[in-house]
């Protein structure tokens, strides 16, 4: 059975543990005490602020060994017992406020004066910038997700991710590129009309974008909408190189419709932009022969055979040359 004094000692030990006195052997443990109050710029107490204490003159690192994290009460107050003498760093943080860090001296044998700290609100422009950066990061993540889904041929999911990315992007100058990706997803699903519509949406944002115009012309020609394709082709910046197959298809369409001048213009453009493309010379030779310009037709047929003696049109070219 414990004596009265023994019981008192046991009770005292329990109370000390309950009060947060550190286990002996910790380098920062002692008998010193600190207390303080956190206020805002209007002098009102700040409840729920986090108070981190670490011994030494280094920047306060919450990951290092030290007392447990403290939180201010409704009066903005905090206190702690069990600190060794020496320099201590105090870091005070709360969302919406700028963090405050400072140094105090702890003396185990002296009464500690309250540490009063005023937290300043984070400036609105800083919050707005952070929110914008966060939104931009989310948009980037959504677009990258869309790219990955498109590569996996998950077209509907890719479009959903792209739409999410666009919704989070304030800078609409990036929208045309995303709409082109959406157009690609529709095209790969065989939904050409929706692919065309997506490109037209992109042109509403950037009407003179040559990449979008070129893609739109290609899709319109492939869909048999040559007249509409010509309208958008006319909007291409001067000197823009158009896809050779697109021009060939336009030329063939004009040739079959008896529009020789239009066909000649298309084939001549292909030759100018792709001088080593054999097919262009063959088709232009057909126009020349139709216009009874045999000398020019002969030159194009010979060029075809020079570039590709094994061309699928080589036999026809040789026969035509015999008659010219």
| pLDDT, tens digit (0-9, with 9 covering 90-100), for 101-127 | 999 999 998 888 899 999 998 877 776
Q: Residue ranges of the domains in the chain? A: 28-118, 123-216, 241-324
Average pLDDT, the chain: 87
pLDDT tens digits for 26-83?
A: 789 999 999 999 999 999 999 999 999 999 999 999 999 999 999 999 999 999 999 9
pLDDT attached to residue 239: 74
State whether CATH 2.60.40.10 applies to domain 28-118: yes
Q: What is the CATH number of domain 123-216?
A: 1.25.40.10
Least confident window among 131-145, 222-236, 260-274: 131-145
Instruction: Say which CATH topology domain 241-324 has.
Output: 1.25.40
* Half-sphere exposure at residue 72, Cβ-oriented, CA atoms within 13 angstroms: 27
Q: Name the residue with tokens 């409840």.
A: 47
Dihedral angle computed from the Cα positions of residues 252, 258, 260 and 261, in that order, rounded to the nearest 10 degrees: -110
pTM reported for the whole predicted model = 0.55
Question: Would 123-216 and 241-324 be classified into the same CATH topology?
Answer: yes
Least confident span in 169-173, 182-186, 219-223, 308-312: 169-173
Burial of 295 (0-12, 13-18, 19+ CB in 10 A): exposed
**Paired strand residues for 104:** 88
């Amino acid at each position: 059975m414990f004596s009265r004094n023994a019981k008192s000692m046991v009770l005292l030990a329990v109370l000390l543990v309950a009060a947060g006195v550190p286990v002996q052997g910790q380098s920062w443990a002692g008998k010193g005490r600190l207390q303080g109050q956190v206020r805002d710029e209007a002098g009102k107490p700040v409840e729920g602020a986090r108070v981190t204490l670490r011994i030494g003159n280094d920047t306060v690192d919450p990951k290092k060994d030290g007392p447990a994290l403290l939180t201010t009460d409704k009066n903005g107050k905090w206190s702690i017992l069990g600190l060794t003498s020496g320099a201590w760093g105090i870091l005070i943080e709360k969302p919406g406020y700028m963090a405050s860090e400072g140094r105090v001296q702890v003396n185990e044998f002296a009464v500690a004066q309250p540490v009063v700290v005023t937290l300043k609100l984070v400036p609105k422009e800083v919050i707005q910038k952070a929110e914008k950066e966060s939104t931009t990061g989310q948009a980037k993540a959504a677009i990258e997700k869309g790219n990955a889904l498109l590569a996996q041929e998950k077209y509907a999911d890719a479009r959903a991710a792209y739409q999410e990315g666009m919704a989070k992007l304030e800078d609409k100058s990036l929208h045309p590129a995303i709409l082109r990706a959406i157009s690609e997803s529709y095209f790969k699903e065989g939904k050409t009309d929706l692919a065309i519509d997506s490109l037209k949406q992109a042109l509403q944002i950037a009407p003179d974008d040559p990449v979008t115009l070129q893609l739109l012309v290609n899709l319109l020609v492939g869909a048999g909408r040559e007249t509409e394709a010509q309208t958008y082709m006319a909007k291409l910046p001067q000197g823009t190189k158009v896809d050779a197959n697109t021009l060939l298809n336009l030329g063939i369409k004009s040739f079959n419709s008896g529009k020789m001048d239009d066909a000649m213009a298309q084939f001549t453009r292909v030759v100018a932009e792709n001088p080593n493309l054999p097919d262009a010379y063959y088709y232009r030779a057909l126009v020349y022969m139709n216009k009874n310009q045999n000398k020019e037709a002969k030159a194009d047929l010979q060029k075809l055979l020079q570039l590709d003696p094994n061309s699928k049109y080589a036999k026809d070219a040789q026969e035509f040359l015999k008659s010219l």
